Amino acid sequence: MDDQRLRVGQVFVAGGAPTITYNPRSELNLEEQILDYLDEGYRILSVSGSTKTGKTVLVRRIVPPSEGMWLSGGAINSAEQFWDSIAEHLGLYTSIERTSDSKDEVWRTTTGQANIGIAKGGIENKEIVGSTSGEKVSRARNVITQAREALRGGLTPLVIDDFHYIPQAVQLEIVRALKDLVFDGLRVIVIAVPHRAYDVVRVEREMTGRVQQVSVGFWSREELAGIARKGFEALNLEDKDEALIGRLSDESFASPHLMQDFCLQLCKANGYRQAQDERRQLVAPDWSSFFADRASMASKAAFDLLARGPRQRTDRKERQLKSGAVTDIYGAVLAAIAHTGPNTELTYEEIRAALKEVLSSDSPQRHEVTRILEEMTKIATNEIEGEPVVDYDVELGKLYISDPYFAFFLRWGVPDLA
């Protein structure tokens, strides 16, 4: 008989939509806010949250792909791509073809000989002679007009995930084109990282007052612990004093994605890959190697690209760190960021102060640091797949570590950096 017991991968789901360990964070009324928006409409709903904090899982819980039009911002580089995606989703025809035919027929009778058995005789054959003519007319339909007609007044929500991936000029075109459709009742949900949550308003000032915000926010220690408790209970595993749960929560950078992964790996480190018949006590692994192993798989490639800098750069001035390591300005800035904890949101002043603490030589000038931060953002956006691991907002003068996995790597993956 097949073993039907739950597998740990079914319980702790890192990177997908968990069921057993799903936490609605009821005290924040997140699901209720989305449901209220769907009831009321006449605005754009912006759901914001840091990478891997569960914002997409939350929206999919309320608006599954089978009940909404889901578009990925990472696949939209132009307004034409946006409307083409909607037309494809709705199965719209982009051309009309009309054909007309006419046929003149004349029957003609001919006589011939036929041999049937031993008898011989004549046989009449009838055939059609004449002419045919036809006309085919086709007309292309404007995709944007057709898609807008299909969306107007519709009750199927339009969800644009990773809205911040779309170039701002394209965002503006999209928002302006959707404005009157929203006024007519179309529900539009955009999902973005927190510092891009107001992109809808930033690109189109007329949307001020017409955008509703739902902030997923960072997860609390208790919320993260809830993931572990539910999962361990389902697997018949136990952490009596919750010391293991506490440690995992502390290292998760407020990310349920990381917490799911940690819990999954802790079960495997204890030799458990499925639910147990009897209650089993979990034991602590060697934490240093446990986290170092997780970090080595997380963001090394992204770190190496950022530390290398632009491909065409020639400035390789050596920078001495107090740790004894020798690097350049890119490595020094990464060392300074890591030195902060790393914090996932940093001002220039905080980075400057951290540089003074990690460098044994003079700190670089302000324009040098901001230039490096801007270059790192370009690399993170153009050369690294997925969510940009760092994002420097020039307008706000802040650096964001958008990916908790990258923050975790800075803490555990490069111990000699700072």
Characterize 210-221 residue by residue with b for buried, 16 or more Cβ atoms within 10 angstroms of its Cβ, and e for exposed. bbbebbbbbbee
Range of the domain at 30: 26-91+143-215
| Residue 13 placed within a domain | no
What's the structural domain count of the chain? 4
H helix runs in 71-167, sequence order: 79-90, 143-151
| Residue 123 placed within a domain | yes
Domain shared by 58 and 128, yes or no: no
Q: Which domain CATH number covers 365? A: 1.10.10
CA 63 – CA 5 distance, rounded (Å): 30
Asked if residue 82 lies in contact with residue 170, where contact means CB atoms within 8 angstroms, the answer is yes
* pTM (two decimals): 0.76
Residue 274, amino acid: Q
Strands 326-327 and 319-320: antiparallel
- How distant is the alpha carbon of residue 285 from its chain centre? 32
Chain-wide mean pLDDT for the chain? 86
State pLDDT tens for residues 82-129.
Answer: 999 999 998 887 655 666 555 555 555 555 444 434 344 444 555 555
State pLDDT tens for residues 257-298.
Answer: 999 999 999 999 999 999 999 999 999 999 999 999 888 766
pLDDT at 119: 40
pLDDT at 211: 86
Residue 117 or 407, more confident: 407
Helix orientation angle between 329-339 and 366-382, rounded to the nearest 10 degrees? 90
| Residue 10 placed within a domain | no
| Residue 418 placed within a domain | no
| Residue 374 placed within a domain | yes
Residue 207 or 392, more confident: 392
pLDDT at 189: 96
| Placement of tokens 């840091």 in the chain | 50
Domain shared by 204 and 251, yes or no: no
Percentage of the residues of the chain whose pLDDT score is greater than 70: 82
State pLDDT tens for residues 306-356.
Answer: 999 998 766 678 899 998 889 999 999 999 999 999 998 999 999 999 999
pLDDT at 196: 60
pLDDT at 75: 92
Domain shared by 80 and 189, yes or no: yes
